[in-house]
Structure 1
């Protein structure tokens, strides 16, 4: 079966699959007022998720990241992991989580097939963590990271959204943390979304600020691997952990794009910041519709743009990152 490829020669072995847009944290940059159901169609069933996974694996998907919202809020999260693990061709199963259930379930999820976990930790200061996330369970989240490391996950990453005036000065804290911890820190530049223009204006901190500090301290840019996405990864011989920078406003950020997104209500998103989604759910009701589903995926890739337009102030149709899985 022909692999997915767009007009610009980019292939897409990586699927970010959202299974819910609900979240129990209230991060200022995403859902500051908490999650409120909008009354629209509910999230995909396990059978629908299985059909999405099978279709994408047939056209070259090798890595799937289960996202949300907070994906572990779904009671069948472990079953979703098992579905992914049983999908032919998939060799990497990852998730992005706020980590509140990780300490309790790290072993079971690993046994179900989860091999990589990204935990959102926007501050290593408990009070500041609570200010940013609206949640006081900092210690529980950090215990979850320890549990994943002890369990032997292939990769454990910490996601940090850079926020001017909130955590922009915490680089020394994070560096101390990864001195002896084999964790990848990922500093993510705040991205403007439809509902958060004022917040973006107040708190956007260019990733180049952190990049310059790292380079002054001897951090070296790692060679890019064949399946690497847009992140720039840095290593230092004195540190057990690495640092990744995700800077979506940088020139040529989209040149190495290798991922597609499917929302929790079954829409394909070619970019985090473009169209309102291409409907797939009408083709997820039966195994007999797989060929038609795959044909729609190929047709959709013809619509993918070469780049997003964030640098022009156009955040597209995304209201907030929880709506399609970040």
Structure 2
């Protein structure tokens, strides 16, 4: 079957699949008031996830990242890993986690088929970590990262959202960590959302400032790999780790878009910001609906916009990033 492609020639082989919007952290840039339940959640079931993954794998999806909220809060998280890992057309399986349960479950997840993991660590100072996340779990998260490295994950990445007045002066501390630790450290430029306008105005730092500094310090921009997300990756001969920068406000950021998103309740999102999403759930009841599901995916791709319009100050309809997996 033909690969998913939009009207601008962009092909989509990367799916970010949210399995819950529940999170047990209260990060200021995402859920400052913590998770607010709106009744009994009706998240995608294992059967629905299986049908969804099967359909996406038929139209060129090679990489799936399991996201949340905090995906490991689902009791069947390991089963979700197995379902996706068992699909031979999915060559890269990853997840993003706050690391709260990583130390306890890293080995189990690895044995189920997970090979790539991103852990959110916005500060290496335990007090500042608590201030940003609302949880005093820095040492627990760091233990989880050590465990993941010991288990043998193919790649361990650390996500840190750049925050002016909070962690923007901590780059030397982060660099000291990756000098002798083989991890990918990714700095993510803060993005404005519907509920986070004031926070954005107070804490936004332009990623290009960090890029300029890295190049001045001898870091080299790595070649782009088809499995990469939107990060620009940098290496240095004196460091075991790498640095990645995700800069959504940089010109032409959307030109290399290769990802789609499905929310925990089964809505397809062509962009993190620009639209309300299109339901897929009615076509996840039976594997016999796969052809119709694939037709809907192709039909929606022709409506994808050329850009997210963030650089024009348009935040779209996304109220907070946990709602569709960031």
Is TM-score (shorter-chain normalized) higher than 0.5?
Answer: yes
The corresponding residue for 2:46 is 46
The corresponding residue for 1:268 is 268
The corresponding residue for 1:127 is 127
Q: Distance in 2 between matches of 1:76 and 1:324?
A: 19
Tell me the TM-score normalized by structure 1.
0.98
Q: Residue 51 of structure 2: SS of its match in structure 1?
A: helix
The corresponding residue for 2:225 is 225
User: How far did residue 40 of structure 1 move?
Assistant: 7.2
User: How far did residue 41 of structure 1 move?
Assistant: 5.6
Q: Distance in 1 between matches of 2:100 and 2:37?
A: 21
User: How far did residue 96 of structure 1 move?
Assistant: 0.1
Structure 2 residue runs without a partner (length 5+):
none
Please say if residues 184 and 241 of structure 1, whose CA atoms lie closer than 8 Å, have aligned partners that are also in contact: yes
Q: Distance in 2 between matches of 1:305 and 1:40?
A: 33
CA deviations over 1:162-195 (Å, ceiling 9, x no partner): 0000000000010000000000000000000011
Alignment of 1:287-298 (within 5 A): 287-298=287-298
The corresponding residue for 1:209 is 209
User: How far did residue 38 of structure 1 move?
Assistant: 1.6
Q: Distance in 2 between matches of 1:298 and 1:123?
A: 41
Q: Distance in 2 between matches of 1:199 and 1:192?
A: 8
Q: Residue 181 of structure 2: SS of its match in structure 1?
A: coil
Instruction: Establish whether residue 315 from structure 1 lines up as the match of residue 315 from structure 2.
Output: yes
The corresponding residue for 2:6 is 6
CA RMSD of aligned residues (A): 0.9
Please say if residues 63 and 227 of structure 2, whose CA atoms lie closer than 8 Å, have aligned partners that are also in contact: no
Alignment of 1:152-301 (within 5 A): 152-301=152-301
Q: Distance in 2 between matches of 1:308 and 1:314?
A: 8
Structure 1 residue runs without a partner (length 5+):
none
CA deviations over 1:263-310 (Å, ceiling 9, x no partner): 000000001111010110111111211111010000000011111100
Alignment of 1:73-84 (within 5 A): 73-84=73-84
Q: Residue 130 of structure 1: SS of its match in structure 2?
A: helix
Tell me the TM-score normalized by structure 2.
0.98
